[in-house]
Amino acid sequence: MKDLSLQSRRYRFLSPIAELPEALLRHLTEVDYFNHDAWVALLLNPDNDKDFEPAGVGRYVRSEDDSKRAELALLVVDALQGRGIGKILLKQLAKAAQSAGITCFDGVVLGNNTPMLSFVHKLGGHKTSVEDGLVNVEFPLENILEA
């Protein structure tokens, strides 16, 4: 969380939280690689291959209502945004989700998160609804994998 601006935290968690509550941290770290999967991007130090820093994380959680859909979340540290890390994470998640029988990702984006809404559009996603400043989006996995 230390490498995330207040705005990035607001965009990811829909509020500017300073620290992750224990229950949320537990939820984010308890993956089963089928219904709940996560990928972490690491930035390696070129002078020391044992030294690395988190660059981003992406995850999906299968919907309880429709087993072919999953909620998607992506986060890239501020200093590395716009360099393709989110796209790499999204494609890896799409491959894993497709193997698990998922066909579509859903997500919620703050209406003023222009970079993410542009990212959604570029990678074959689209808005499904807008309510109270929140934009619901969906990404068919086939669009992600072809992008």
- CATH 3.30.1330.60 is right for the domain spanning 6-146: no
* Cα–Cα distance measured from residue 54 to residue 95, given in angstroms and rounded to the nearest whole number: 21
Q: In percent, how much of the chain has pLDDT > 90?
A: 58
Q: In this model, does residue 1 exceed pLDDT 60?
A: no
Average pLDDT, the chain: 88
Provide the residue ranges of all domains of the chain, joining segments of one domain with +.
Answer: 6-146
Q: In this model, does residue 82 exceed pLDDT 60?
A: yes
- Secondary structure of 21-82 in HEC code, one letter for each residue: CHHHHHHHHCCCCCCEEEEEEEEEECCEEEEEEEEEEEEEEECCCCCCEEEEEEEECHHHCC
pLDDT at 46: 80
Adjacent-strand bridge partners of 50: none
* Cα–Cα distance measured from residue 109 to residue 75, given in angstroms and rounded to the nearest whole number: 12
How many beta carbons lie within 10 A of that of residue 137, not counting itself?
Answer: 21
pLDDT at 48: 81
